[in-house]
Amino acid sequence: MFTITKSEIGWNFDNSYVRLPKEFYSEVNPTPVNEPELVIFNKYVAESLGLDVRGLLEGGVEVFAGNKIPNGAKPIAQSYAGHQFGHFTMLGDGRAVLLGEQITPTGERFDIQLKGAGRTPYSRGGDGRAAIGPMLREYIISEAMHGLRIPTTRSLAVVTTGEPIYRETVLPGAILTRIASSHIRVGTFQFITGLGKREELKLLADYTIRRHYPEIKDDDKPYLALLREVINRQAALLAKWQLVGFIHGVMNTDNMAISGETIDYGPCAFMDTYDPGTVFSSIDTGGRYAYGNQPYIGGWNLARFAESLLPLLDENEKKALQLAQDEITKYNGIYRDNWLNGMRAKLGLFNQEEEDKELIEELLELMKTNSLDYTNTFAALTFDHLDGIMMCNKNEFENWLQKWKERQSRQKKSETKIKELMRSSNPAVIPRNHRVEAALEVAAEGDYSVMGKLLEVLKDPYAHSPEQAEYAKPPEPSNKPYQTFCGT
């Protein structure tokens, strides 16, 4: 394939992952397409990667389409496994090709991956392609998550391929260029443990420590420390999801990144009306990954990660199991502390009191009972716009508000500081499902202006600007429940 020199665009690839044993990947090139067209490009991400924005706009479409391989890249598809809805399966990148790792001017390392780039050895009969809607959805939601200050993979570009994609209907094809701290998953560890290869497992663990947790490389028990650090990051991530009402939709272990980033935005969505039982994904018929279940599933997935590390934790199987169990049992407390502290910030509370959990849960129960909008209720509390949330059960809300104000008064912070904390903790906007769908609907016809306006509004969700007011409105009531669908 034609190669592009670094001087033309700014690509600066290393390929540390391919220095792992062959079990971890397969060498594969993207499948070229005939008529690629760049439809959206993230210049902010490009600049952070040290890439030439103008050069990419003029000639990057061929790279984003998989038609040209940048100089220094070594395309691969990664192998991994996963518990999908609780059932273990050997998997891999069935429609994604990792070009390599871009080294930024500051020395950071990011995977550059093409999603929807054609068949790989792991496609299992699939076409390896992606439709425009799911790729643009990932672009929108991942950028919204970045604006919400939640660790996430990000999107560099989306191109259309000029080829039809056959799902329930015929759809325009597309490829997403995704960047990530890495694509190492819980399922990556499960895959190599499932092969029974301890030495390769050790190599993967050492590689992961060097790449994501270098501060623990000299620890007396580095693999136990790795488990501990991943638990800490995942507990913090899950708390951040819950605090903004984000529902991932498919929390399989192959969709859980060891880096602590949110990854794989398939049937994801944000909750409007507060209800812990909220499920949007059409394939989650049992509600396994409902909003209220996400913290539990995070712990369940981490237990599977701990199981994969057992051969490294101690030569004595019983002792290894006890070491893993001791760490996993800490997850609930770590998650709870992250969530409680986040909720305290949303309510303008700087310090901690024993009764805070009860105060928070009482508010959430009122929100559920009265079918209140999750995001807008906290915004209303932030700006004292209380009329709307007090229309139902006025006495109950007045009682709660009195408790809340009394709780705020028991801290040595001014009203100004309290409001500043709440403003910075409660977003004015989230990517409302009806807004996302409206953008995707016209984008499928080639109009990306609606999506552009939505992305601009979501760039700083804590701005509370006049321009955001229209986008903060919940959808009109509907008898038809909102559903999301897996892109494959």
**Matching residue, tokens 């993967």:** 204
- Residues 6 or more apart in contact with residue 479 via CB below 8 angstroms: none
Q: Alpha carbon 215 to chain centroid distance?
A: 24
Asked whether the beta carbons of 301 and 317 are under 8 A apart, the reply is no
Region 414-429: mean pLDDT is 97
Q: Is 69 left (phi over 0), alpha (psi -120 to 50) or beta?
A: beta
| pLDDT at 4 exceeding the cut of 50 | no
Whether the pLDDT of residue 6 is over 60: the answer is no
pLDDT the model gives residue 5: 42
Number of CB atoms found within 10 A of residue 17's CB = 20
* Position 343 pLDDT exceeds 50: yes
Report the DSSP pairing between strands 109-115 and 96-103: antiparallel
Alpha-carbon dihedral 419, 402, 242, 108, rounded to 10 degrees = 20
Q: What is the pTM of this model?
A: 0.94
Q: Could you give the CA distance from residue 98 to residue 112 in angstroms, rounded to a whole number?
A: 6
* Confidence at residue 392, expressed as pLDDT on a 0 to 100 scale: 66
DSSP H or E stretch at residue 88: strand 87-90
Name the β-bridge partners of 76: 27, 98
Nearest of 157, 175, 158, 160 to residue 45 by alpha carbon? 157
- Angle at CA 340, nearest 5°, toward 339 and 346? 90
pLDDT digits over 102-145, tens only? Answer: 999 999 999 999 999 999 999 988 899 999 999 999 999 999 99
Q: What are 457's two structure tokens?
A: 């509004």
**Per-residue pLDDT for 59 more than 70?**
yes
Residue where the block lists tokens 């092969």: 195
For residue 459, is pLDDT > 80? yes
Task: Single out the residue of 444, 31, 86, 456 nearest to residue 250, CA to CA.
Answer: 86
Contact of 175 with 115, CB cutoff 8 Å:
yes
Between the CA of residue 42 and those of 35, 309, 427, 456, what are the distances in Å?
21, 37, 22, 12
The predicted-structure confidence for 17-37, as pLDDT tens digits, reads as follows 999 999 999 999 999 999 999
Average pLDDT of the residues in 156-178: 92
Looking at the predicted structure, is the pLDDT value of residue 149 above 60? yes
Determine contact, residues 235/339, Cβ cutoff 8 Å: no
Q: How far apart are CA 451 and CA 139, in angstroms?
A: 10
Whether residue 408 is predicted with pLDDT greater than 80 in this model: the reply is yes
Residue with tokens 């790279």: 63
Beta-carbon contacts of residue 481 (< 8 Å; ≥ 6 apart): none
pLDDT tier at 479, thresholds 50, 70, 90: low
Give 484's pLDDT tier (boundaries 50, 70, 90): confident
pLDDT of residue 167: 81
- CA-CA distances (angstroms) from residue 51 to 64, 97, 119? 13, 20, 28
Q: Where are the domains of the chain?
A: 3-183, 187-338
What's the chain's average pLDDT? 94
Alpha helices in 264-330 (DSSP H): 294-313, 317-328
Average pLDDT of the residues in 418-434 = 97
Main-chain phi, psi angles of 117, to 5 degrees: -90, 10
Question: Is 254 among the residues known to form the active site?
Answer: yes
Per-residue confidence (pLDDT) for residue 3, from 0 to 100: 44
Residue of 254, 264, 272, 284 marked catalytic: 254
Tokens of 378: 């906290």
Q: What are the structure tokens assigned to 198, written together? A: 């301890």
Q: pLDDT value at position 342? A: 98
What are 243-294's pLDDT values in tens digits? 999 999 999 999 999 999 999 998 999 999 999 999 998 888 899 999 999 9
Say what percent of the chain tops pLDDT 90: 85
At residue 222, does pLDDT exceed 60?
A: yes
pLDDT tens for each residue of 170-181:
888 999 999 999
Query: What tokens appear for 195 in the block?
Result: 């092969």
Residue 319 has pLDDT above 60, yes or no: yes
> Predicted confidence band at 147 (pLDDT cuts at 50, 70, 90)?
very high
More confident residue, 88 or 351: 351
DSSP classification of residue 152? B
Q: What is the pLDDT of residues 366-398, one digit of tens each?
A: 999 999 999 999 999 999 988 777 666 778 899
**Nearest-10 Cα torsion for 29, 35, 41, 45:** 10
Spatial neighbors of 439 by CB under 8 A, at least 6 apart, are 136, 140, 450, 451, 454
State the pLDDT at residue 1. 40
What average pLDDT does this structure show over 467-474? 95
Give the whole-angstrom CA distance, residue 225 versus residue 391.
Answer: 51
Report how far residue 278's alpha carbon sits from residue 276's, in angstroms, rounded to the nearest whole number. 6
